[in-house]
């Protein structure tokens, strides 16, 4: 299982310090929520922040673009040090060329799907991506409640992965805590983005280790069913 703390929930006055803290926690990925104030009603941070945190986090920088025009952002984020770049399936006709562009930049490719969007929308792209991100809140803000109705979407992409013999990771993002993470692991998720539930704890390291332990056990139990 992979735990990916979301920088969105960190101390915005100390991004470098916070990235180093995530590194020390042993979290495999650092998730960076990029918001443009158009695709979502909020603005977070851009490529310069990725560049700033890059030296402080030596494992995977997982960039999630909640942006309406990602085509102008792919190269700056790749140059800043992103290892994986995820775009939203809601972008429609732009999706295929964007996925090819991310691949051409030598980065891992992710596709995200919002709660109201039918999971069938991502099926055409599954063979082209390394990661499917199931949003479990409506994107834009941290600290929102988990949307239970998204769980069947996790099960569906896990079934397709098995049936199609593909290897993409299944990531969940939004309202993920120890309880909802276990529910998502049981449904087939293997990568967990969490902001509030991890940065809100006295020890990030303890919280990361606990979420990893709980989701690993839940995932193993599910595979025995
Ligand atoms: C929503 C963001 C959040 C963030 C995590 O647009 O993507 O989901 O990563 O937020 P928490 O874990 O605080 O719900
Ligand atoms: Zn995200």
Q: Is the CB of residue 110 below 6 angstroms from any atom belonging to ligand 1?
A: no
Q: Give the model confidence (pLDDT) of 187-223 as tens digits.
A: 999 999 999 999 999 999 999 999 999 999 999 877 7
Nearest ligand (C-alpha, residue 110): 2
C-alpha–C-alpha distance, residues 31 and 61, integer Å: 6
Instruction: Report the pLDDT value the prediction gives residue 220, as an integer from 0 to 100.
Output: 87
| Mean local confidence (pLDDT), 90-100 | 98
C-alpha–C-alpha distance, residues 23 and 202, integer Å: 16
The CATH number of residue 47's host domain is 3.20.20.70
**Over 90: is that where the pLDDT of 64 sits?**
yes
Instruction: Report the pLDDT value the prediction gives residue 224, as an integer from 0 to 100.
Output: 74
Q: Are strands 29-35 and 169-173 parallel, antiparallel or unpaired?
A: unpaired
Mean pLDDT of the chain: 97
| Mean local confidence (pLDDT), 69-83 | 98
Q: Is the CB of residue 6 below 6 angstroms from any atom belonging to ligand 1?
A: yes
Instruction: Report the pLDDT value the prediction gives residue 90, as an integer from 0 to 100.
Output: 98
Instruction: Quote the DSSP letter at residue 212.
Output: H
C-alpha–C-alpha distance, residues 134 and 153, integer Å: 7
**Over 90: is that where the pLDDT of 19 sits?**
yes
Instruction: Quote the DSSP letter at residue 157.
Output: H
- Prediction pTM value: 0.97
Contact assessment for residue 16 and residue 53, using Cβ atoms and an 8 Å cutoff? yes
Contact assessment for residue 11 and residue 5, using Cβ atoms and an 8 Å cutoff? no
Cα 178 to averaged position of ligand 1 atoms, centre (Å): 14
Q: Which residue's alpha carbon is nearest to atom 1 within ligand 1?
A: 139
**Over 90: is that where the pLDDT of 146 sits?**
yes
Domain that includes residue 123, residue range? 2-224
Cα 47 to averaged position of ligand 2 atoms, centre (Å): 15
Q: What are phi and psi of 2, to 5 degrees?
A: -115, 130
| pLDDT-based confidence at residue 135 (cuts at 50, 70, 90) | very high
Instruction: Give how far Cα 65 sits from Cα of 33, 101, 156, 183, 218, Å.
Output: 7, 14, 23, 25, 29
Instruction: Report the pLDDT value the prediction gives residue 222, as an integer from 0 to 100.
Output: 74
Percent of the chain surpassing pLDDT 90: 97
**Over 80: is that where the pLDDT of 74 sits?**
yes
Please state the atom number of ligand 1 nearest to the C-alpha of residue 139. 6
Nearest ligand (C-alpha, residue 194): 1
Q: Per the structure block, which two tokens stand in for 136?
A: 């479990």
Cα 197 to averaged position of ligand 1 atoms, centre (Å): 10
Instruction: Report the pLDDT value the prediction gives residue 148, as an integer from 0 to 100.
Output: 98
- 62 catalytic? Reply is no
Q: Is the CB of residue 62 below 6 angstroms from any atom belonging to ligand 1?
A: no
| Mean local confidence (pLDDT), 87-112 | 98
| pLDDT-based confidence at residue 170 (cuts at 50, 70, 90) | very high
The number of domains in the chain is: 1
**Over 80: is that where the pLDDT of 143 sits?**
yes
165-187 CB burial, b ≥16 within 10 A, e <16? eeebbbbbbbbbbeebbbbbbbb
C-alpha–C-alpha distance, residues 109 and 87, integer Å: 8
């Amino acid at each position: 299982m992979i735990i990916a703390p979301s920088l969105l929930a960190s101390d915005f006055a100390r991004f470098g310090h916070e990235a180093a803290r995530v590194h020390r926690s042993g979290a495999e990925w650092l998730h960076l929520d990029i918001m443009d104030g158009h695709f979502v009603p909020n603005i977070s941070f851009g490529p310069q922040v990725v560049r700033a945190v890059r030296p402080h986090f030596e494992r995977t920088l997982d960039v999630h673009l909640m942006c309406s025009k990602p085509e102008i952002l792919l190269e700056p984020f790749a140059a800043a040090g992103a290892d994986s770049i995820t775009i939203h399936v809601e972008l429609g006709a732009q999706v295929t060329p964007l996925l090819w562009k991310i691949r051409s930049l030598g980065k891992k490719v992710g596709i995200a799907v919002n709660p109201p969007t039918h999971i069938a929308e991502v099926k055409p792209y599954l063979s082209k991506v390394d990661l499917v991100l199931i949003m479990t809140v409506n994107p834009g803000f941290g600290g929102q409640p988990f949307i239970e109705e998204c769980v069947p979407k996790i099960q569906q992409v896990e079934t397709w992965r098995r049936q199609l013999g593909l290897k993409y990771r299944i990531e969940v993002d939004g309202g993920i805590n120890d309880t909802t993470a276990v529910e998502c692991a049981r449904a087939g998720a293997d990568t967990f983005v969490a902001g509030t539930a991890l940065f809100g704890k006295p020890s990030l390291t303890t919280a990361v280790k606990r979420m990893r332990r709980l989701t690993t056990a839940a995932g193993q139990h599910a595979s025995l069913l």
